Chain A
């Protein structure tokens, strides 16, 4: 009945008209958009931060290592012998030795307390053997039995597993990821409700108009259209705002982070939301805007019938 070109022109017109309506009453619309933007920026920002942490820690993956600190009485030569014995074990991939003087040198260079060391007569550092387990034995249980057996050695003062904190970090990150999902789900729901409520109020404000349009033969689709486009605009602008908020926050954090990275001899820099992430954020936001208005429209439009 209606030609496609007219149909598309109508859609474009409604699309622009709803945008015009929103621009004409900026305050109330900005409030809604701000609520959406902040609600979406929170989980997105946390997601970006978690992804950055993951990137950093990925380099440490499978990096279980056992540090064996020798008793002070153990000489470098004795430590060498022990290292050779350990090297021959089936479950050991490689062994690194740090002699007492190497340890002293490293400390002098990096700690800034070099001059304090001059005051000491003896080298206070023990020799250290770092044991890397083979890949097959790189699991918590095996590594822990290895640790126990190393502890039995008379030369060993202290045996320390440097993996546990990593495992814990992974567990915490898993927890964080789950937490972000829960947070994202809850905040998405609240965005849905905010849009739904805003559209509900818009419907109530235009009750007379809807009634008249129904009286003179407006279809449900015709009446629904401007509200759905309003929801679309809310979604789009809320999504853009949250993108800006996340990008701005990452930018603000990137300075301190690269400073921190420099202190760790790394040139790591914080990465922001990538293209795919941005598209998903905008898409989700538009979807929430449309869904919220759809719910409001289908719930409240039927209730308005001309008398």
Chain B
């Protein structure tokens, strides 16, 4: 589902944020991405969401090299990647329902279908009774769930989460992680950046560890340069 081959990312005026990273995440596989802050976790997630482009190497999603796709193609790649943000990135002037419906509206899903799928998604995260609420009236954990409902409403094959439990207490964090595990069980590839090592070890999934831009655990051996497979 996700494959990195010798991927490097260098920001102008600084060193390598990622350096020759190679790993593979199969369909229906769940993995944690760990490392100190500044180790390159966010950079790696941004590459998958095509928020940035690799300096070197290949990023494959569904066997498509997204490192060099045209600007016009980017939205369609992003529709296959549900992203959950640490700061939720909800629209505070719209109801929970409208927030969750947004990806479906973008994709041009019919009105009736939207209602059905948004409710299914809200039911999944346990917020069906909050559909008419404004996000501001919800707790941090509930807002995070709204963010998750929005990320999965379009049934993307890939879920990315950037420190999804960063602001939550341990019990809520665990609940959120269990939720991700449920999506993995129905065939979604899930990649979660987190530094909550205790929780990660309890969950018992594949762990990718980054250190100063290098993948020191969980990755693949680098193929010879210029030869992706």
Give the B-binding residues of A (Cβ under 8 A). 1-2, 6-7, 9-10, 208-209, 211-220, 222, 305-307
Contact of B91 with A by CB under 8 A: yes
Partner of B79, one of A6, A216, A220: A216
Residues of B within 8 A of A1 (CB): 108
Q: How far is the CB of B85 from chain A (nearest CB, A)?
A: 8
Rounded to whole angstroms, the CA-CA distance of A306 and B91 in the bound complex is: 15
Scan residues 139-158 of chain B and give those whose CB is less than 8 A from a CB of chain A.
150-151
Contact of B78 with A by CB under 8 A: yes
Q: Are A212 and B107 in contact (CB under 8 A)?
A: no
Contact of B219 with A by CB under 8 A: no
Tell which of B75, B90, B109 has the most Cβ of chain A within 10 Å: B75
Rounded to whole angstroms, the CA-CA distance of A211 and B49 in the bound complex is: 13
Residues of A within 8 A of B76 (CB): 217
Contact of B89 with A by CB under 8 A: yes
Q: Are B89 and A2 in contact (CB under 8 A)?
A: no
Rounded to whole angstroms, the CA-CA distance of A217 and B109 in the bound complex is: 14
Residues of B within 8 A of A217 (CB): 75-79, 103, 106-107
Rounded to whole angstroms, the CA-CA distance of A218 and B76 in the bound complex is: 8
Rounded to whole angstroms, the CA-CA distance of A298 and B138 in the bound complex is: 36
Known contacts A6-B108, A212-B102; 11 further A-B pairs (Cβ under 8 A): A1-B108, A10-B105, A214-B78, A216-B79, A216-B151, A217-B78, A217-B79, A217-B106, A218-B75, A219-B72, A306-B51
Residues of B within 8 A of A306 (CB): 51
Contact of B110 with A by CB under 8 A: yes
Contact with A along B13-46 (1 / 0, CB 8 A): 0000000000000000000000000000000000
Contact of B111 with A by CB under 8 A: yes
Residues of B within 8 A of A214 (CB): 75, 78
What is the total number of residues of chain B having a CB less than 8 Å from a CB of chain A? Answer: 23
Q: Are B78 and A208 in contact (CB under 8 A)?
A: no
Rounded to whole angstroms, the CA-CA distance of A212 and B83 in the bound complex is: 11
Residues of B within 8 A of A208 (CB): 89, 91
**A–B pairs, 13, beta carbons within 8 Å:** A6-B110, A9-B111, A208-B91, A209-B91, A211-B89, A212-B91, A214-B75, A215-B49, A215-B89, A216-B83, A217-B107, A220-B75, A222-B75
Q: Are B111 and A216 in contact (CB under 8 A)?
A: no
Q: How far is the CB of B64 from chain A (nearest CB, A)?
A: 15
- The residue on A at minimum CB distance from B82 is A216
Q: How far is the CB of B161 from chain A (nearest CB, A)?
A: 13
Residues of B within 8 A of A222 (CB): 75, 106
Q: How far is the CB of A13 from chain B (nearest CB, A)?
A: 8
Q: Are B102 and A213 in contact (CB under 8 A)?
A: yes
- The residue on B at minimum CB distance from A222 is B106
Residues of A within 8 A of B77 (CB): 217
Q: How far is the CB of B78 from chain A (nearest CB, A)?
A: 4
Q: Are A219 and B51 in contact (CB under 8 A)?
A: no
Residues of A within 8 A of B150 (CB): 216
Residues of B within 8 A of A218 (CB): 75, 106
On whether A307 and B51 interact (CB within 8 A), knowing A212-B89, A212-B91, A215-B89, the answer reads yes
Rounded to whole angstroms, the CA-CA distance of A215 and B83 in the bound complex is: 8
Residues of A within 8 A of B79 (CB): 216-217
Partner of A216, one of B51, B102, B108: B102
